[in-house]
Amino acid sequence: MDATFARPIGRAHREDGPVAADALNRDCRSNSPSRRALSQALAGDTGSASLVELFSSRPHLFAETTVFVSEADLQRMVQIIDVVERVVARPAYRQTAFARAPAAGRHPCAAAGVFVGYDFHLGPQGPRLIEINSNAGGAMLNARLLDVRRACGAGTGKGFARGPVEQGFVDMFGSEWRLERGAGSRLPGRVAIVDERPDEQYLAPEFALFRELFEAHGIAAVIADPADLSFDGRRLWHRSGVVDLVYNRLTDFALADGPNAALLAAWLAGAVVLTPNPRTHALYADKRNLCLLGDVRWLAQIGVDEADRALLAEGIPRTCEVGPENAEEYWATRRQWFFKPFAGFGSKAAYRGDKLTRRAFAAISRGGYVAQAVVAPSERRLVVDGVEQDLKLDLRNYVYRGVVQLVAARLYRGQTTNFRTPGGGFAGVVAVPSGVPCGEAR
């Protein structure tokens, strides 16, 4: 069973499924298609030698294994996401989130934001939501991995047909367009996939796959640096022509940096559909939002019911703002915490408390950080270069308007996911019902 599933009804219970999944992750040697098979499948589908070269230059993009997750834990993640989405829709939550957002984050728009990423660790008591991202990368890579797994079954390396997940991505961008331009609007004529120095980004192969996806559906697409864009007061331009929609992969979430000025001005003027956008980040990805979502007293004050408050209290590790007034308390208990900047992403400027120096903490104590209770990640045992070893893993749920589109794992060593670990990278997820032996779960 692939980890794409319909929305469950009712609350999940942790039975023996999680135990079975843990055992499979420890003992089962089920493999994903090899990097060679994956490259061959991609080459057969696109005929692009340059794309295959991009993949080969990133040896730790994909792990050659799968990760087992119980159906109960997959369902519990969906339930946590459901509750978060309901809270985010509340006026009191939005008022609080917007009050501390930059001006761009408060700008009204109808687009919901593509690829909101809900990242979880699997603790002993079930999934724990450690982070929400507003422009989560890897969705297309994992959709292709899923398709290749389906086709390669026994590692044949045969070509594959694009699956329904990719069609769902196209429909999602169409939804964003219609939300902004009206239900009867034609599709955008040109989409720009925008990131700073896109050719140098580690996930550059994904940009190429998205460009091909758009073009396969009759939409012109370009991969662009924000400096390649200009705004004439009416339209956003790329050298190839007018840009109607921007798929935003920038990590300048407020578009405050100089090179992003044209894109920001075009979006504020309504000249381009931007997704995700600063408003999406303000509502979801500012790390202070986890402080709100885990504060049961505040949730009660804004009318969240008891069952939903209990689920969030259990599903979100304690997360609190750090400032001069409480800095010494967090320094004294630093081994219990992971410190993250409000607008951080990945491992940038994030610190695990047991590795923290006084000098680094001095900057944290001045503000701009949250402290989150450490939830140790679960692990996947695999053989790398003939040596058995355990890699950490987290689970990313790709979500659009509250619906989980795809679940993927990331395997790594060190403090955070890094795509630098031999044997690590994105991995497919296999859902495990209660009491399934290794051979039946492949």
Note the pLDDT tens digit of each residue in 27-37: 987 666 666 66
pLDDT digits (tens, 9 = 90+) for 348-365: 678 899 989 999 999 999
What does the longest C-alpha to C-alpha distance in the chain come to? 62
Residue type, 96: T
CA pair distance 220, 199, nearest whole angstrom = 19
Alpha-carbon torsion (430, 436, 437, 442), positive or negative = negative
- Contact criterion met (CB below 8 Å) for 32 and 2: no
- Contact criterion met (CB below 8 Å) for 379 and 391: yes
Tokens of 106: 């408060």
Position 1 pLDDT exceeds 70: no
Angle between helices 139-152 and 204-216 (to 10 degrees): 80
Alpha carbon distances (Å) from 7 to 48, 78, 195, 310, 394: 37, 7, 33, 20, 21
CA pair distance 21, 190, nearest whole angstrom = 44
Give the model's confidence band at 85: pLDDT under 50 very low, under 70 low, under 90 confident, else very high. Answer: very high
CA angle, 57 as apex, 203 and 406 as ends, to 5°? 35
Q: In the beta sheet, which residues pair with residue 322?
A: 369
Give the model's confidence band at 211: pLDDT under 50 very low, under 70 low, under 90 confident, else very high. Answer: very high
Give the model's confidence band at 10: pLDDT under 50 very low, under 70 low, under 90 confident, else very high. Answer: very low
pLDDT of residue 302: 97
DSSP, res 2 = B
Tokens of 102: 């930059």
Over range 300-305, report the average pLDDT.
97
Q: What are phi and psi of 427, to 5 degrees?
A: -140, 145
pLDDT digits (tens, 9 = 90+) for 313-344: 999 999 999 999 999 999 999 999 999 999 87
Alpha-carbon torsion (96, 99, 105, 110), positive or negative = positive
What's this model's pTM, rounded to 2 decimal places? Answer: 0.90
For 366, residues 6+ apart whose C-beta sits below 8 A from its C-beta are 323, 324
90 in helix, strand or coil? coil
Pick from 80-94, 391-405, 420-434: least confident: 420-434
pLDDT of residue 156: 40
pLDDT of residue 12: 36
pLDDT digits (tens, 9 = 90+) for 221-259: 999 999 999 999 999 999 999 999 999 999 999 999 999
387 in helix, strand or coil? strand
pLDDT of residue 420: 78
Q: Tell me the average pLDDT of the chain.
A: 88
398 in helix, strand or coil? strand
